[in-house]
Amino acid sequence: MRIVAITNQKGGVGKTTTAINLAACLAQRGIRVLLIDLDPQANATSGLGMAQEDGGSLYPALVLGTDPHAAIRPTRLPNLSIIRSHQELAGCEIELAQSGNHLARLREVLHPLRSSGHFDYILLDCPPSLGVLMTSALAAADELLVPLQCEYFGLEGLSKIVHVVQQIRECGANPDLRLEGIVMTMYDSRANLSQQVVGDVRNYFAEIIYNSIIPRSVRLGEAPSFGKSIIEYEPNGRGATAYRALAAEFLARRVENKG
Ligand SMILES: Nc1ncnc2c1ncn2[C@@H]1O[C@H](COP(=O)(O)OP(=O)(O)O)[C@@H](O)[C@H]1O
Ligand SMILES: [Mg+2]
């Protein structure tokens, strides 16, 4: 069982879109996935057509110590479960910061899920900004997957993430955290800039950039408003094809790393 945080401190780079659709494509291959929506804006929750509910997020487990299993819900997709978000999660930023060892709290809460044997992967859809929830996710995760928009400022954000990962390792919060992958999102094949940015990231991060690139696609942008993953909304389109390729590559990397 691996916990993968989908993180980038910038908003609007495709974190939630990647969390939903990577989770859906892994589940379609028979992998048991739990998607945890850690963003108080609850975009992954609504993007999968799920309603928000008081007490339905990870908040009670994080702050009151209730069993996190109670928050797990099935989705329409076989093998894909979710712990939804709710605005109440925003309260964690303050409540956890006030409690002593806040960096370790999410890790503790996820422990019974890790050892339950119910899931092969837990994907954490993280909020933007380097707040308590996001740093807690970095402290709790085995791996970090960073969606990066194919635009000029994308690269700046990346060096910041690399720095934060280093800090989380060095302060002892999570010495084994690995920056596992970078996935380029919203690629526009007609824009020179998109090609340039991908080229730059390939130069600096050759080992971890995914070959699968997510195109800019109107359908990918529309799907969440129908509460659907792209494999339900447009299963044969470019977006679904790209996310299926990403899921295959994601799994292939893990087989290689074990060998
Ligand atoms: N590949 C894509 N093509 C077109 N629109 C996209 C794509 N990926 C994401 N979007 C849209 O861009 C916006 C931001 O994406 P989102 O995944 O919510 O980013 P984040 O979670 O990083 O804030 C959303 O409206 C989303 O539907
Ligand atoms: Mg998001």
For 17-55, the pLDDT digits (tens) are 999 999 999 999 999 999 999 999 999 999 999 999 999
**How sure is the predictor about 259, in pLDDT bands with cuts at 50, 70 and 90?**
very low
The residue whose two tokens read 């799994």 is: 251
Per-residue pLDDT averaged across 191-211, rounded? Answer: 93
Per-residue pLDDT averaged across 144-151, rounded? Answer: 95
Q: Distance from the CA of 15 to the center of ligand 1, in angstroms?
A: 7
141 φ, ψ (degrees, to nearest 5): -85, 155
pLDDT number for residue 258: 62
pLDDT number for residue 247: 98
Which amino acid type is present at position 118?
Answer: H
Per-residue pLDDT averaged across 204-213, rounded? Answer: 95
The residue whose two tokens read 């942008």 is: 221
Which amino acid type is present at position 97?
Answer: A
Q: Distance from the CA of 7 to the center of ligand 2, in angstroms?
A: 9
Cα–Cα distance measured from residue 253 to residue 259, given in angstroms and rounded to the nearest whole number: 10
Cα end-to-end distance, the chain, whole Å: 17
pLDDT at 186 over 70: yes
The residue whose two tokens read 């989770």 is: 23
Cα–Cα distance measured from residue 96 to residue 106, given in angstroms and rounded to the nearest whole number: 10
Helix (H) or strand (E) holding 149: strand 143-149
Give the range among 92-101, 112-121, 177-186, 192-201 with minimum mean pLDDT. Answer: 92-101
Select the more confidently predicted residue: 190 or 214.
Answer: 214
Per-residue pLDDT averaged across 229-253, rounded? Answer: 98
| Beta strands 72-74; 80-83: pairing state | antiparallel
CA-angle at 36, arms to 34 and 37, nearest 5°: 145
Give the range among 60-74, 132-146, 149-163, 217-231 with minimum mean pLDDT. Answer: 149-163
Residue closest via CA to ligand 1's atom 9 equals 14
Which amino acid type is present at position 152?
Answer: Y
Cα atoms found within 13 Å of the Cα of residue 106, Cβ hemisphere only = 31
pTM as predicted: 0.97
Domains and their CATH numbers in the chain:
2-258 (3.40.50.300)
Arithmetic mean of pLDDT over the chain = 94
* DSSP string over 32-76: -EEEEE--TT-HHHHHTTPPP-TT-SSHIIIII---GGGGEEE-S
Nearest listed ligand to the Cα of residue 14: 1
Q: Distance from the CA of 40 to the center of ligand 2, in angstroms?
A: 9
